[in-house]
Every structure is written in structure tokens, then in C-alpha cells.
Amino acid sequence: MTILATEGLSRRFPRVTALDRLTVTVGPGVTGLVGANGAGKSTLIKILLGLLEPSEGAAQVLGMDVTAQGAEIRRVVGYMPEHDCLPPDLSATEFTVHLARMSGLPRTAARERAADVLRHVGLYEERYRAMGGYSTGMKQRVKLAQALVHDPKLVFLDEPTNGLDPQGRDEMLALIRRIGTEFGISVLVTSHLLGELERICDHVIVIDGGTLLRSSAISEFTQTTRTVTVEVEEGRDVLAAHLAGLGETVTAAGRTLLVEVRAPETYDTVRDAVCDLDLSLIRMEQGRQRIEDVFREPADV
């Protein structure tokens, strides 16, 4: 089943090309959209919401064409923008109820859904207070709640972890994962950190400069790029030579060595090698892939 699909989608502004012949398909579940600032993530979301006309190409959301059926799409999708969008003198309840009504819910249903959804995103007594006094974490939760209040089939979350502290970030990511699994709502979530999306997504799309860099299931993604960082006190080169002799692929990166993990046995090999050479091991860390790593690799999608 395809949730959304684009076909040669381009969008040119007078001075920049935001999207350049982008062709992707997205299935149900949680999909990450990764790219640096200005990569075209927000432009893509605006086109998918039917708010921006593509210059060229076509896109479908839930089987509906974005140019012809924008209004129908907007009935069944939710959108959480990247920027602040909360009036400070309203309470979270008033705000969410109002936006539920704007999505076409009758008055009583809007109240019930707003209360339900605010509870699900983790806002309790504070939802009756004016939003001006909320922390960033609470504001992000309200923004998420208004995107979910009309029970959409698909939500677009634009940088939901922006400005959150590590704990808030973890909670937000866990919540997004729950939306995709427990709530049964498909999610397209953008971020410029691949690392955080790795943990919650089924599928990741990487774009840069409006073009597709790669699009693959998260399992393939981590398999092909898994490395382990090894740092020893002295004798980095000795260890590198030893490991290379054992058939491992090793690259030196500053004070550390990057060892490609072919199979779980690689960890044992590294451990044994350090022991055999009698070196002091400082750390051995699962290579966390970052967006930059993807950019460094050739775009062999």
C-alpha cells in the first residue's frame, strides 16, 4: 500500500530550485525525511498538502492528486509546522477545540477529541492554562495535538524535536513511534538528524538540494553502513595493521579507527586483537551514522 508518491516532482522559485525531479514512494508506518536546512523538506510538505503548486511532475497523497484534490487531502491529513504557531493568550484546550472545528468536527466531537488527544500527547491539568507560559516541550505537544485532533490517516511533522532537551527529545520520539504503531496513523517526520530518526522510522528518505539522495527501509540503511569506532591509548596503527591482516576493513579517523562490522564476530575480533596486542582500550562505540556520512558516500540509490 502506498501512502504517498511523487513522480518527477519539481518546484522552482524565481531564485532557487527547491525540488528537482523528486521521485519517491512512501508506505504506511513512520517515514523519516532527512535533509539539511534548505534541502526542500518544507517545500515538499507544502506541495503534499496542496498549498503549493508543483512546477512540474505529480504527487499523490493517499491516492489523491495534490493539485486536483487538495481540499480532500487536507480533510484526512494533519500538519505540525516547524515554527511557533500558538497564540499565547489561549489555553491548549480552547486552541485545540477550535482547530478541530476548523477540520470539520462538530462541536461536541471537537471537545471530546481535543481532551482525548491532549491526554495522549501528555498534557494534563496545564491544558487549561494560557499557552504563553508553556515550556518548549509543552508547546511542541500542543502543536502535535492539533495535528492529530481530527484523527487523520497521515500526519506531516516538520522538525518536531526542534528546541527540545535530550529528555524531551526522547519523549517526543517515543510519542511519534506510538502514533505510527499504536494509533495506526502514518507519519512523515522531518529532521536534520538521521541518528534520531533511525530509532523510530521504518523507512528513511534523504534529500539534498531538492534531489533524492537515497530512500530505503531502515534495516538496509543500518546494515550497509554499520561501523564501530575503536579508540586505543597508543598503537592505533599497529591495531589497524593487525585487524587488516585478519580481513577486517579499517579506516583511520583522527585518534580513532573505524572498523566495518561485517558480522557480530567483528566485535570479538576487535576485542581479541586489542588483547593480543596488549593495548589499552579507551572506548569501543557503535558507529552512529549522521547525515554527513550519507552525504560523503556516493549517491548509489
Partner 1 sequence: MSDLSPGTPSLGGAPAGVIHDIGYRHYDGPRTGRGPATAALAVHTLRGVFGLGRPARAKIIPFLLVGTMMLPAVVSIAVMAVAKQKMAGYTEYAVIMQAVLAIFLAAQAPYTVAPDLRFRVLPLYLSRPVTLWDYVGAKLAAMAAAMFLLLAVPLTTLFIGEMVVDLPGPPDTGGYLTSMAGAVCYAVLLACVGVAVASFTPRRGLGVAAVIALYLLASGVSTVVAAVMESVNDYDAAAWAWLINPFFLVDAAVQVGIFGAEPSAPGSYPTGIGVAAAITIMLGLIALSVTALVIRYRKAASR
Q: Does 183 bind partner 1 (CB under 8 A)?
A: yes
Q: From residue 249, how far is each of 55, 264, 300 by CA, in Å?
A: 45, 14, 20
Helix and strand numbers (H, E) in the chain are 11, 14
CB–CB of 27/3 below 8 Å? Answer: yes
| Residue 292 lies near partner 1 (rule: CB under 8 A) | no
Beta strand 256-260 with 250-253 is antiparallel
Q: Which amino acid is at 107?
A: R
Among 16, 68, 102, 299, binds partner 1 (CB under 8 A): 102
| Buried b / exposed e along 14-23 (16+ C-beta atoms within 10 A) | eeebbbbebe
Closest CA to 27 of 212, 174, 218: 218
Cβ proximity to partner 1: between 33 and 77 the closer is 77
Distance CA 231, CA 244 (A): 16
125 sits near partner 1 (criterion: CB under 8 A): no
> Does the footprint of partner 1 cover residue 234 (CB under 8 A)?
no
Q: Least distance from C-beta 45 to partner 1, angstroms? A: 9
Under the binding rule (CB under 8 A), the answer on residue 34 touching partner 1 is no
- Give least dist CB 88 to partner 1, A: 7
> Residues 166, 167, 182, 300: which binds partner 1 (CB under 8 A)?
182
Say if residue 217 is exposed, middle or buried (CB neighbours under 10 Å; 0-12, 13-18, 19+). Answer: middle
The binder of partner 1 chosen from 53, 56, 112, 276 (CB under 8 A): 112
Among the listed residues 58, 62, 109, 193, the single contact to partner 1 using CB under 8 A: 109
**Is residue 116 within the footprint of partner 1 (CB under 8 A)?**
yes
Minimum Å gap between C-beta 171 and partner 1 is 17
Candidate list 26, 34, 47, 105; residue touching partner 1; CB under 8 A: 105
Gyration radius of the chain's alpha carbons:
23
Residue 216 has, within 13 A of its CA and on its CB side, a CA count of: 15
Report the sign of the C-alpha dihedral through residues 134, 164, 162, 121, in that order.
Answer: negative
Which of 5, 58, 115, 258 binds partner 1 (CB under 8 A)? It is 115
How many angstroms separate the CA atoms of 178 and 123, rounded? Answer: 16
Written as nine digits, the cell of 264 is: 557480530
| Eight-class DSSP state of 58 | E
Eight-state DSSP code of residue 109: H
Q: Stretches 101-109, 160-168, 206-214, 236-244: which one binds partner 1 (CB under 8 A)?
A: 101-109
Number of residues binding to partner 1, judged by CB under 8 A? 37
Of 2, 53, 67, 104, the one binding partner 1 by CB under 8 A: 104
Q: Figure out which of the listed residues 49, 217, 258, 284 binds partner 1, where binding follows CB under 8 A.
A: 49
Question: Which of these, 177, 152, 175, 156, lies nearest to 164 by C-alpha position?
Answer: 175
User: Using CB under 8 A, which residues numbered 62 to 81 contact partner 1?
Assistant: 71, 74-75, 77-79, 81
**Shortest distance in whole angstroms from residue 77 CB to partner 1:** 8
Binding site for partner 1 (CB under 8 A): 49, 51, 71, 74-75, 77-79, 81, 83-89, 94, 98-99, 101-106, 109, 112-113, 115-116, 120, 146, 150-151, 182-184
